[in-house]
Structures are given as C-alpha cells and as structure tokens.
C-alpha cells in the first residue's frame, strides 16, 4: 500500500538529480493514479467515513428470520424482562411493610398489596368486586397482611386503629376459605366482646356477601341454641 499515491494526487517527481522538478502526468496516467488513489483511500478508511460515517462492519444487517410457512418474522428487539430475584422480592416486601407500619413474625406470607393481586392469591372475583363497591381503592394495611395469613391457615393476632378495616380483614379470608355457601348449621363462628361489635360484624358480612346466597345468624349470651 503506497501512501504517497494519496499525497501526490496526479503529480510525479523527477529523479534524484532533479528532485525539485515536478512533472504533471498525462490524462491517461492521471486516470490510473486516480484509481490507485481510490483503492489506497478505501484501505485507509478505518472508520467508514466514505460510507456516510458508518463502517461496513457496524452497518446493521436486515436478515429477518422466517417461520415454518416461509413468512418473514422480525426477531425481538429487546430481551424479555428478567424475573425479579428472591432478594429483590424480600426487599420490596420489607419496604412495603415499613411504609405501612406492618410488623410481622418471621415467615409471615407476603402481603396482598392491591385488589388486582387478590384473584392471583386465591380470593374469589365476586368478593373483590364487593370490596371495591364499598369505596376502597386498595386494601388497608391490616387487610393486606391478614388476608394471606388467615388463608394460609396461620394463627393471627392483629392490632390496628379504629376504622382501619379489621372486621373485613378477618371476614374476607374466612369467606375465601369457605368458598361457597353450604348446608351445614355453622361453618365458622365469630365471637365478639360486645353486642355492638357483633352487630357491626353482621353488617359487614351482609355487605361482603351481597348478591350471593350466604347466610349469617346473630346470637347473644341470653339466647339458647335449640
């Protein structure tokens, strides 16, 4: 590769004895020199500026794959999102509990953070619909942790402020576990410390089971079961 072919650009220099003389080539010689210069320039074009600033090696190739029917199919431009790791899941759950002041024992199931997550965790869609109809946009903090804990068969002792949704926090998972109405006399028993709280429990039960054939009975200490 003669770098001087590029530098001369149509000029030839005399012999050593008259090295200061410059002799211009004929048209035929200049044409040959131009061809040599192009080849030399292409070999020197490491970064592909002759191709509009794009080297031939970095030029994207369009080679779509074909399916079994011979039709062109574009390859996915991005890799599928990687599933979150176990460590990421634990960190996200811990952050959610810190934000909502939820304190649990070690090994407690992950909270159900939204109503949209409930069907995937086993809560029937009709119950989720009735919960939304009560005006909630998402489960309250005590509900997010009580639902999965009761549904997993765990023992639960929950403490939360008045009006935080504790009644629904235990009625909802009980209805989920029962799945549908039965013919037995009693399938679940709820004991309240006062008549007022027992009446509140019955009211919430009626709201949660609206449109379904569930039945509940209210008993006081003065009544006898025949």
Handedness of CA 205, 211, 212, 214 (dihedral sign): positive
So what's the pLDDT on residue 55?
47
In CATH terms, the superfamily for domain 108-208 is P-loop containing nucleotide triphosphate hydrolases (3.40.50.300)
**Radius of gyration (Cα) for the chain, nearest Å?**
40
pTM over 0.85: no
Contact in structure between 151 and 122 (CB atoms under 8 Å): yes
Residues of the chain with CATH 3.40.50.300: 108-208
- Over residues 37-93, the pLDDT tens digits come to 676 656 555 555 555 555 444 454 555 555 555 555 555 555 566 677 888 988 999
């Amino acid at each position: 590769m003669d770098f001087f072919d590029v530098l001369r650009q149509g000029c030839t220099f005399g012999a050593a004895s008259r090295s200061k003389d410059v002799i211009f080539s004929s048209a035929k010689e200049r044409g040959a020199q131009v061809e040599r210069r192009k080849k030399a320039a292409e070999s020197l074009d490491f970064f592909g500026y002759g191709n509009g600033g794009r080297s031939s090696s970095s030029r994207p190739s369009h080679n779509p794959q074909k399916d079994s029917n011979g039709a062109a199919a574009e390859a996915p431009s991005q890799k599928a999102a990687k599933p979150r790791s176990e460590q990421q899941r634990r960190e996200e759950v811990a952050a959610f509990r810190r934000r909502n002041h939820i304190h649990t024992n070690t090994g407690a199931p992950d909270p159900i953070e939204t109503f949209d997550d409930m069907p995937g965790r086993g809560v029937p869609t009709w119950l989720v619909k009735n919960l939304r109809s009560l005006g909630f946009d998402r489960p309250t903090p005590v509900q997010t942790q009580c639902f999965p804990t009761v549904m997993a068969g765990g023992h639960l002792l929950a403490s939360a402020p008045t009006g935080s949704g504790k009644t629904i926090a235990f009625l909802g998972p009980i209805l989920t576990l029962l799945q549908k109405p039965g013919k037995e006399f009693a399938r679940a028993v709820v004991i309240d410390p006062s008549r007022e709280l027992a009446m509140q429990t019955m009211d919430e039960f009626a709201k949660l089971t609206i449109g379904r054939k569930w039945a509940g009975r209210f008993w006081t200490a003065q009544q006898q079961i025949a």
